[in-house]
Amino acid sequence: MTSWHEFVTMGRFGFYVWPAFGFGLVVMLLNIYWAHLREKAAHREVRESRSTEEESRS
């Protein structure tokens, strides 16, 4: 690449490449976020099931 402008425009294909790159990045970030939410929900469910088991034993 000889200049920053050529890199960004990518030989006139930048109009297609950069939105695709952005969309892929958003999908990956959402995937990480949703996995984090599911992990928190799973931990919460385990805590609740343990507390109900302890209550039923008493």
Query: Which residue type occupies 46?
Result: V
The total number of structural domains in the chain stands at: 1
- C-alpha Rg value of the chain to the nearest Å: 23
CA distances, 2 to each of 5, 10, 21, 38 (Å): 9, 11, 22, 46
Distance of CA 51 to the CA centre of its chain: 31
pTM strictly above 0.75? no
**In the block, which residue shows the tokens 């990518």?**
10
Q: Give the domain extent around 34.
A: 4-57
- Phi-psi group of 11: left, alpha or beta (phi > 0 → left; psi -120 to 50 → alpha; rest → beta): left
pLDDT of residue 19: 97
pLDDT at 13 over 60: yes
